[in-house]
Amino acid sequence: MSRPWKLSRRAMLRGVGASVSLPLLEAMLPSSGLCAAEEQKAVTRVAYLYIPNGVADGSWQPKEVGDQGEILELNRWMKPLDSHREDLTVFRNLWTPQGNGHIAGTATWLTGGAFDGQRITAGGTSVDQLAARYFRGKTLLPSLELSVKGEGIFTSSLPRNSVSWVDAATPAPRDIEPRVVFDRMFRSGTTGLGDPSVVDLVLDHSRSMKRRVGRSDQGRIDEYLESVRAIERRLEFAASQKRRAVEVPGLQDALQRPGPGIPEDHADYMRSMMDMIVLAFWSDATRVCTFMMDHGQSNRYFNFIDQVKGTWHALSHWKDISGRTEDDDGMTSWSTREEKRDMYNRVTRWHTEQVQYLLQRLSEIKEPHGRLLDTSMIVYGSSLADGHEHEARNLPTLLAGGSGCGIRQGRLRDSNDDLSMSQLHLSILQRLGLPQERFADADEPLDLETQG
CA atoms within 13 A on the CB side of 105: 25
For residues 397-409, give the mean pLDDT. 95
What's the rounded Cα separation, in Å, for the pair 355 and 306? 19
For residues 281-291, give the mean pLDDT. 91
Please check whether residue 112 is in contact with residue 258, taking contact to mean a CB–CB distance below 8 angstroms. Answer: no
- Residue 191 has a pLDDT of 41
Please check whether residue 205 is in contact with residue 14, taking contact to mean a CB–CB distance below 8 angstroms. Answer: yes
> At residue 431, does pLDDT exceed 60?
yes
For the chain, the first-to-last Cα distance in angstroms comes to 53
Q: Which residue has the higher pLDDT, 371 or 217?
A: 371
> At residue 232, does pLDDT exceed 90?
no
List of residues 6+ apart from 212 with CB closer than 8 A: 5, 27
- Residue 358 has a pLDDT of 97
List of residues 6+ apart from 353 with CB closer than 8 A: 80
Q: Which of 99-103, 164-168, 339-343 has the lowest mean pLDDT?
A: 99-103
Residues 313-364 have pLDDT tens digits of 999 999 999 999 988 999 999 999 999 999 999 999 999 999 999 999 999 9
What's the rounded Cα separation, in Å, for the pair 164 and 107? 8
Residues 3-55 have pLDDT tens digits of 455 666 556 555 555 556 666 677 666 654 444 444 457 889 999 999 999 99
List of residues 6+ apart from 401 with CB closer than 8 A: 87, 359, 362, 373, 374, 375, 376, 377, 378, 407, 409
Percentage of the chain modeled with pLDDT above 70: 77
> At residue 177, does pLDDT exceed 70?
yes
Q: What is the mean pLDDT of the chain?
A: 84
* Domains of the chain listed by start with CATH number: 1-41+192-261 (no CATH), 45-176+286-452 (3.40.720)
Q: Which residue has the higher pLDDT, 245 or 185?
A: 185
- Residue 106 has a pLDDT of 95
**Whole-number Cα distances in Å, 426 to 206, 262, 289, 342:** 40, 35, 16, 35
Please check whether residue 109 is in contact with residue 292, taking contact to mean a CB–CB distance below 8 angstroms. Answer: no
